[in-house]
Amino acid sequence: MKIKSWLPIFSLLFGAFVWGIIWYPYRLMANAGVSGIYSSFYVFILTIAIALPYFFITKKKVPIWSKDFWLLALVAGYTNISYVLAVIDGEVVRVMLLFYLSPVWTIFLAHFMLNEDTQKRHYIAVFISLIGAFIMFWEPGYLIHLDSKSDWLALSSGLGFAITNVMTRKHEHMTVNQKALAIWLGVIVVAIICIMFDKNAMPTLDFFRPVDAAIMMAIALSLFLSTLLVQFGVTQIKAVEASSFFLFEIVVAAISSYFLVGESIAFNEWLGGIFIITGVILSSKN
């Protein structure tokens, strides 16, 4: 396979790695007293600050006054915020598995919004993934038991991720840089909306210790690179097929959560996860 054909795959795997490990610095920020909403707000301001010199050096003009731009921004903003809140409060691997029901939603969205070919195996994949979800959710006395806010956030974030990827592929008139900027601005806008209804005082910049500032800068730089690379990868690869490469995120999350915080995975989560992953691989098999 030529190097050029590997670039979209590498881009998606890099993005999956970043989102598979980024939960940990966000948790460190939360333990220091900065919630996911506020840390996301500061981090993405830093991300845009990092991006501005890039846009200037590359002389890329990024028009932002369009309905498509801001629809993508809002959906992606919610996806990012809900994901961060879910991994801060919930079990990391459980959150990841619920999030990765997103290919189920992608199959239907790609069919109706992108006119991508939907085959029998796609519907079989949906069925297998949903069986996995039922196994994870089932408890004695409950058919479906979502036992925490993080479960709902993870599910809705996965739906938002599916919509984001489909919109990214659909809006061919938008450049990769424009799509990336939409995501960064979207997180800031959604964070501001959440802050308006939050009763806690917003941490001022002098609240942060040098180590907190270093963590935020590392997150911002990682998000800058991963957003550009993922937008490039999703633009090059069909939406349904791209989903399989993001499964690398679950591997990274499982290993990092075990070694960093000692999280274990319940049997029903292992079994349900196997069904979900099987469904994703089947749906994206080319």
**Is 161 a domain residue?**
yes
Which tens digit of pLDDT belongs to each residue from 170-186? 877 788 888 888 999 99
- The structure tokens listed for 137 are 């959710």
- Compute the distance between CA of residue 126 and CA of residue 70 in angstroms, rounded to an integer: 30
What number of helices (H) and strands (E) belong to the chain?
13, 0
76 part of a folded domain: yes
Which structural domain, as residue segments, surrounds residue 24?
7-284
Give the Cα separation of 99 and 152 in Å (integer). Answer: 10
Residue 148 falls within a domain, yes or no?
A: yes
pLDDT above 50: residue 277:
yes
- Evaluate if pTM is beyond 0.95: no
Average pLDDT, the chain: 79
Instruction: For residue 59, report the phi and psi dihedrals to the nearest 5 degrees.
Output: 55, 40
How many Å separate Cα 254 from the centre of its chain? 16
| Of residues 225 and 101, more confidently modeled | 225
9 pLDDT band (50/70/90 cuts)? confident
Cβ atoms 166, 113 nearer than 8 A: yes
DSSP string, 20-89: HHTHHHHHHHHHTT--HHHHHHHHHHHHHHHHHHHHHHTT------SHHHHHHHHHHHHHHHHHHHHHHH
Q: Is residue 34 part of a domain?
A: yes
**Per-residue pLDDT band at 207 (split at 50, 70, 90):** low
Number of domain units in the chain: 1
pLDDT tens-digit map of 211-262: 777 888 888 898 888 888 887 887 777 666 666 677 777 778 888 888 888 8
Is 2 a member of any domain?
no
Residue 1 belongs to some domain of the structure: no
